[in-house]
Every structure is written in C-alpha cells, then in structure tokens.
C-alpha cells in the first residue's frame, strides 16, 4: 500500500507540475493473493482529471474548486521463472493540486483507455451520489 501511494503521489506530482495534496484512496480491489517474497511490479497512470474541481463530499477538507487528479496504480505479481505476470491489485487515489488554478485534461488514446476512464468516472459519480 505504501509503495502504491508513493508511486501515485509521484505520478500526480509529475503530471500536475505542482506538489499534490492527498485527498482519498478509493476502491482497492484485490484480484489475486500476494505471498510473502513475491516480486511486485507497480504501474501507474492518470486516469482522469477534474480541472475545475469536483465534489468529494464534506468529509474531505479544503478541496472545493481545486483541480483534482485521479491516479490508478496496478500491482503485478511477477514470476520470472515461469515468465508470467498477473495483475494482483488495483488502487485508486485522488489528489488535489492546491497551488494550481487548473490542470491538463486527460484524453484517451484508444478504446481500451476510454473504457477504463469511463468505468472509473462512472464509479466515482455513483459514489459521489452516495456521499452526504
């Protein structure tokens, strides 16, 4: 979890060009078990941004009007002897860019990226409706 957070933080920092402020971790999925001693590979990507800010609910302090960056981290369990790797976890982090007025918009390059982005945005919209 810590390594995934650090990678997500670095990804948001590099993407936004400004030191991000962590707001929330959301929807951690554990698809496959990770055993002690497994070799892990972490991959991150900015799934989408909200350049004009968004509503994460009243429980998240001081985020109104700030640009938001949603980062996905995939954790892969790698087995070099068998020459295979499998996705173990997906973690989703949201960061604000407190010193920026806006940020770049993320546009998908292909249908798979568009599907991944739309799925995550839809899940976040459903969660936003559940927030008080």
How do residues 74-107 score in pLDDT, each as one tens digit? 999 988 888 888 888 889 999 999 888 888 889 9
The predicted model scores a pTM of: 0.86
Residue 10 has what DSSP assignment?
Answer: H
In whole angstroms, give the CA distance from residue 5 to residue 93: 8
Q: Where are the alpha helices (DSSP H) in 1-132?
A: 2-16, 111-130
Q: Where are the alpha helices (DSSP H) in 21-110?
A: none
Evaluate whether 128 touches 57 at the Cβ level (below 8 Å).
yes
Q: What is the pLDDT of residue 6?
A: 96
pLDDT in tens, 28-76: 778 888 888 888 999 999 999 988 877 776 667 777 778 999 999 999 9
In whole angstroms, give the CA distance from residue 79 to residue 62: 43
Q: Residue 127: how many CB atoms within 10 A of its CB? A: 14
- Of 46, 44, 47, give the one whose Cα is nearest residue 75: 44
């Amino acid at each position: 979890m810590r390594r995934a957070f650090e990678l997500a933080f670095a990804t948001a920092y590099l993407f936004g060009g400004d030191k991000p402020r962590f707001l929330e971790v959301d929807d951690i999925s554990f698809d496959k078990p990770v055993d002690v001693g497994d070799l892990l590979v972490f991959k991150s990507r900015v799934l989408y941004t909200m350049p004009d800010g968004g509503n994460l609910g009243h429980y998240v302090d001081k985020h109104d009007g700030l640009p938001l960056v949603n980062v996905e981290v995939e954790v892969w369990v790698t087995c070099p002897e068998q020459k295979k790797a499998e996705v173990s976890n997906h973690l989703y982090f949201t960061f604000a860019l407190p010193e920026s007025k806006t940020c770049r918009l993320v546009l998908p390059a292909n249908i798979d990226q568009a599907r991944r982005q739309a799925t995550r945005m839809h899940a976040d919209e459903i969660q936003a409706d559940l927030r008080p």
